[in-house]
Structure 1
Amino acid sequence: MSKPPLDVLLCAPRGFCAGVVRAIDAVEKALEVYGPPVYVRHEIVHNRYVVDSLRRKGAVFVAELDEVPPGDAPVIFSAHGVPKSVPQEALHRRLFAIDATCPLVTKVHREAEIHHKRGRHVLLIGHAGHPEVVGTMGQLPPGAITLVETLADVGRLLPAPGQELAYVTQTTLSVEDTAVLVAALKARFPGIISPHKEDICYATTNRQGAVKHVAPLVDAMIVVGSNNSSNSQRLREVAEREGCPLVRLILRASDINWDEFDDIRCLGVTAGASAPEVLVEEILDAFAERYDIRVESVSTADESVFFPLPRELREPAAG
């Protein structure tokens, strides 16, 4: 029997961003230079396939530093960033710490610190409990930074009289949702200080832009990524907002419910910034087994961003 035809619009950019590449490379380089075990505080990036792959190579993932035994094995901080208390604890315990925080997250940390030093109260637009938000809030003393998630949160803000305000944002948010919150903050507090440069990172913006372009053109859309990946969830939301009838966030081909994709003629595919291209290829191969697919790449931006490895890993350890 001949297979039904299926046009696939493959979003570009998609998949790994420079910060994710740097973080994964940091773990692999540490394993190469120092040998296993290499301890990693939290998931290095939010993708189970990547984490499991690194675990097989000798990475040991821990929730907190108290799970790391004394010794000279490296311990790496994830791309999402950590509160200041974490490197302080590592220093106190004389652990060999390597910080793989994405430089664009570090930029937000520095912004928050500068605002605090200048006497401003900092508002952080982000999602409660996300590791990046925990890390950013942990850059400042308790009470110096307030999390804003919703318009209702904006309405509840009661800064002290004469208190200057500034805001920063999580790097992986929905561009459109964040714009709504920023507009509400500026309407309520006209003097609020904005970031010098957009905090939502280039990769988040570019991937959402590609999905925004493709989603109205297809019958269904697959976002390759993990459920706990903020940027992948935002891609799903963007596709739904743009009117795509069926949007699924899927990690592996085995997760596909084929009944849902029975009658489609055009499929959009993208991947979150922590999803490797091998998973995109796996899902395309699975569709190729059932359909006569014709793949077209739809590019809406060029990316050439590169971040060097953490300083401790740029040269092999002596001896």
Structure 2
Amino acid sequence: MTKPPLDLYLAAPRGFCAGVDRAIKIVEMAIQKWGAPVYVRHEIVHNKFVVDSLKAQGAVFVEELTDCPDDRPVIFSAHGVPKSVPAAAEAREMIYVDATCPLVSKVHIEAERHSENGLQIIMIGHDGHPETIGTMGQLPDGEVLLVETVEDVATVDVRDPEQLAFVTQTTLSVDDTKDIVAALEARFPAIQGPHKEDICYATTNRQESVKAISAHIDALLVVGAPNSSNSRRLVEVGARNGCAYAQLVQRDTDIDWRALDGITSIGITAGASAPEVLVNEVIDAIKARYEVTVKEVETAKENVEFKVPRVLRVPG
């Protein structure tokens, strides 16, 4: 039977960012240095395939530091942790390695600097997300207030409207965040923002590449995990920019083929914690059903690289 023709638009950049790459390397290098098991507090990045492959190498994933023995190394995830976590590890004299993405650490430093200058912080982020918990946990309770929506801005209860600054989660929708920042600036004209926006280069680039292909496609498949904030934002960006159908898929087995019936063009991208092997798996599944013409649309080049912590680069 003849396969129907399909234009496949591959968004670039897609997939792993420098922070995710570094975090995975940290776990692998820790296992090489100290042997298995090495404990990891929370998923190192939000991707089951990555987590399972690290488990196979000897990583043990736990929810809290209390789940770790004193005598094995522990790694903190790329999303960042409250200050209380490394403090507790030090109190127990544990070996620990912080895999927090340097761009998340930048937000932590910003929040601390503003606080030292007497400012209360408003964080734009998702309640309960590990990155939000980590950033808010850099300062004492009440020093960081969370807003998730434009509506939240109207009701946030601040100590002094003249002494405020804002920071943001690094994986938010660029467009949504602009609206929330505008609402904050309208209500609190004196509020201070970051010198350079907190949303990371990888999140911004992946959203821009989805916008670039959206006009050409009937459907968008985003390879990523359901608990990955930046992957979910890519689905929203696709839908907002004219994709009649946008779906988040972890693997090729998640594709809803009935929803794709009759389409002639599909776009594919991947969240910052999704490996390219999963993108290729999805492409192969599509090629099995369609006569595919692949078109790569690149909107930015990425050459960012973050060093792993020194403790992993020195012997002993």
Q: Give the distance between the partners of 1:33 and 1:44, measured in 2 at CA.
A: 18
Match of 1:37, as an amino acid?
A: P
Counterpart in 2 of 1:23?
23
Q: Indicate if the aligned counterparts of 1:165 and 1:192 stay in contact, CA closer than 8 A.
A: yes
Equivalent pairs, count: 316
2:288 counterpart SS class: helix
Question: Is the contact made by 1:80 and 1:101 (CA closer than 8 Å) also made in structure 2?
Answer: yes
Give the partner amino acid of 1:12: A
Whichever residue aligns with residue 198 of structure 1, its letter is E
Runs (5+) with no aligned partner, structure 2: none
Counterpart position of 2:302:
303
The equivalent of 2:5 in structure 1 is 5
In structure 2, C-alpha distance between the alignment counterparts of 1:47 and 1:294, rounded to whole Å: 29
Shift in Å, 1:163: 4.3
Question: How far did 1:264 drift?
Answer: 1.1
CA contact (8 A) 1:124 1:169 kept: yes
**One-letter amino acid matched to 1:59:** A
Whole-Å Cα distance in 2 between the matches of residues 152 and 292 of structure 1? 47
Task: Give 3-state SS (helix, strand or coil) of 1:7's partner.
Answer: strand
Q: How far 1:162 moved relative to its partner? A: 6.0
Displacement, 1:157? 2.4
Q: Which residue matches 2:167?
A: 168
Structure 1: segments with no counterpart, 5+ residues: none
In structure 2, distance between residues paired with 1:183 and 1:257 = 38
Runs of 4+ in 1 over 4 A off after TM superposition: none
Q: TM-score, normalised by structure 1?
A: 0.98
1:215 Cα deviation from its structure 2 partner: 1.4
Q: Name the residue aligned to 2:145.
A: 146
Residue 215 of structure 2 aligns to a residue whose secondary structure is: helix
SS of 1:290's equivalent?
A: coil
Cα distance in 1 between the residues matched to 2:280 and 2:135: 35
- Within 2, Cα distance between the matches of 1:61 and 1:271? 24
2:288 pairs with 1:254? no
DSSP-derived class of the 1:296 partner: strand
Matched residue of 2:171: which SS? Answer: coil
Distance 1:211 1:162 in 2: 37
Describe the superposition over 1:185-215 as per-residue Cα deviations: whole angstroms up to 9, x where unpaired. 1111111101011100000000000001111
Aligned to 2:67: 67
Alignment of 1:166-315 (within 5 A): 166-315=165-314
User: Aligned runs of 1:104-123 on 2, under 5 Å?
Assistant: 104-123=103-122
Helix, strand or coil at the partner of 1:210 = helix
Q: CA deviation at 1:227?
A: 0.2
Return the offset for 1:43.
0.1
Task: Specify the alignment match of 2:45 in structure 1.
Answer: 45
Distance 1:315 1:158 in 2: 48
TM-score calculated relative to the size of structure 2:
0.98
Please say if residues 162 and 190 of structure 2, whose CA atoms lie closer than 8 Å, have aligned partners that are also in contact. Answer: no
Three-state SS of the structure 2 residue aligned to 1:274 is coil
Q: 1:212, 1:238 within 8 Å by CA — same for their partners in 2?
A: yes
Q: Deviations over 1:248-298 (max 9, x none)?
A: 100101111211112111110000000000000000001111111111110
Cα distance in 1, alignment partners of residues 233 and 153 from structure 2 = 21
Contact 1:121-1:163 at 8 Å conserved across structures: no
CA distance in 2, matches of 1:56, 1:262: 38
